[in-house]
Amino acid sequence: MKLLRLIALIIYSIFILVYFKKVLLPKKQGIQFYLAPIVINLMIAVPSYFLLDERIVIYPLMAAMMLITFLLFHCNWIQVLFVGVFYIFTLYSSLGVIVSLHSMILHVSIHEVIQNDVHEVFFIQAVLLSVSLILFFRKFFLSDARIKHLFNNKGQLKFIVGYLCIQLVYLTLINDGLFREVNQSWFSSLYLLSCIISKLWFMFVVNHTARVTELLDFELHTHQLKEQLSRQVRHYQAYQRFTESFRIFRHDYEQFMAITKSLLSKQEYRKAEQMLDTMQDCMEKEISIHKTYSNNVILDAILQDTANLCNEEGIDFNAYIHLSEKVTISDLNLVRIFSNLIENAIEACEKVTDSNGFIEINSKQTDVWQVIEVVNSNTSKIIMRNGVPQTTKPDKDYHGFGFMIVKTTVEELGGQVFIAQDPLNQTFKLTLCIPKH
């Protein structure tokens, strides 16, 4: 009968992995994605069932799921731990609900229930209950988009993992009573109530932390939009100064031209030439230089503001981005991508001590892709993890989201991000490939 339990366990393992496949980036695709949980479960679960006490068998099973997650997904240690604890907690609490219900219905102790020959059927029922609750919770409370936000916030995820570990230890301690032949009916009620409350409280905690994470992301995006609004205001003011200076020059230009025509008519060519030189000097002094950095208004405002900031910080800045009409990208995504890229580039240039830093941004196009390259000075060693540079700031839970936001946004558009570091020339290059439609 343990064969049925093993089959149910493998099916549940595959279900959990498919569930998280929409949240985490898989390393493997195809048959390997489904073959790995079968092989690893057979290698770990089978010896555990036959050699270990049932009270501690959950721990090697949790370790097996963590190993599978690490092998199949691009993820950090806290995400791996979450998947493993989530996998065991949902199944363990569901099994507690099933056996305690049968105990109360049959008016026998839970110990007698688990000694029954149909105990394997209870395990299958627990798997079905866990799957049903996860699908229900996913549909009505925690969508894939919300859990993605949660997975990108390491601080909130640590809190949930800590809570799950405490709940799992608590249920393990209560579960110890199953093997001590506690025959009182109150124990079945206590066990049932503990499992149900644990499940409900887990749903509440996850839902609450997901809402908090969404609010933090919303605050971050609002801050970015405020910064972009400030950039656009400064961009508009600069353009307004350019327009005003041109209007003043136009007024003087009419007088200059009238005088010049009069001098030419009197054949005073030397004075007319001097007047033209004076007009040119006046134009160069009075008309503000308005340089264009992009054919997109929002992007041009971002780059204009960056140019002013780089000028203040002594950073060499050179950029021009021509966005193809075939590239579909919202203004918000433009802000999210380039605000974070430029902020990271400026931070890297500020750390350059032996010479002035530089930032170069250019674009090119192929038949399929809009390619944007950002190159900047970089003297710090970059630590890569899951394809994303890690922040060097001490508070890593609340910093280092910039590259992650860029990567996530570009990939949601169907594009790709490539990162290259040249320690010899002390440069950092980031290439965005955004598909044309």
Q: CA angle, corner 270, sides to 267 and 273, nearest 5?
A: 105
320 and 411 share one domain: yes
Give the tens place of pLDDT for each residue, 220-235: 777 766 766 676 676 6
167 and 275 share one domain: no
Q: Is there a domain that residue 372 lies in? A: yes
Which sign, positive or negative, has the C-alpha torsion 210, 214, 220, 223? negative
Which domain range does residue 259 map to? 238-286
- Across 129-151, average pLDDT: 84
Residues 6 or more apart in contact with residue 371 via CB below 8 angstroms: 363, 364, 365, 431, 432, 433, 434
- Across 115-120, average pLDDT: 64
What is the 3-state composition of the chain as percent helix, strand, coil, each rounded to the nearest 5? 70, 10, 20
139 and 182 share one domain: yes
Please report how the helices 77-106 and 185-265 are oriented relative to each other, as an axis angle in degrees rounded to 10: 150
Report the CATH number that the domain containing residue 373 is assigned in CATH.
Answer: 3.30.565.10
**pLDDT at 191 > cutoff 50:** yes
Q: Is there a domain that residue 233 lies in? A: no
User: How far apart are alpha carbons 359 and 369 in whole angstroms?
Assistant: 23
Structure tokens at 261: 């025509």
The pTM (predicted TM-score) of the whole model is 0.62
362 and 270 share one domain: no
Instruction: Tell the residue number behind the tokens 């005003």, with chain if given.
Output: 244
Give the tens place of pLDDT for each residue, 277-329: 777 776 665 555 557 888 888 888 788 888 888 888 888 999 999 998 888 88
User: How far apart are alpha carbons 60 and 41 in whole angstroms?
Assistant: 10
Return phi, psi of residue 26, to 5°: -70, 145
Does residue 296 contact residue 321 with C-beta atoms inside 8 Å? yes
279 and 302 share one domain: no
Give the total residue count for the chain.
437
Q: Is there a domain that residue 228 lies in? A: no
pLDDT on residue 394: 47
User: How many structural domains comprise the chain?
Assistant: 3
Distance from first CA to last CA of the chain, Å, rounded? 55
pLDDT, the chain, mean: 79
Q: Is there a domain that residue 52 lies in? A: yes
pLDDT on residue 237: 66
195 and 339 share one domain: no
272 and 341 share one domain: no
252 and 196 share one domain: no
DSSP letter string over 342-389? HHHHHHHHHT--SS--EEEEEEEE-SSEEEEEEEEE--SPPPEETTEE
Q: Is there a domain that residue 232 lies in? A: no
Q: Is there a domain that residue 101 lies in? A: yes
Beta bridge partners of 416: 433
Q: Is there a domain that residue 231 lies in? A: no
Q: Is there a domain that residue 355 lies in? A: yes
273 and 321 share one domain: no
327 and 355 share one domain: yes
Q: Which amino acid is at 288?
A: S
- Across 21-28, average pLDDT: 80
User: How far apart are alpha carbons 164 and 84 in whole angstroms?
Assistant: 10
346 and 197 share one domain: no
120 and 175 share one domain: yes
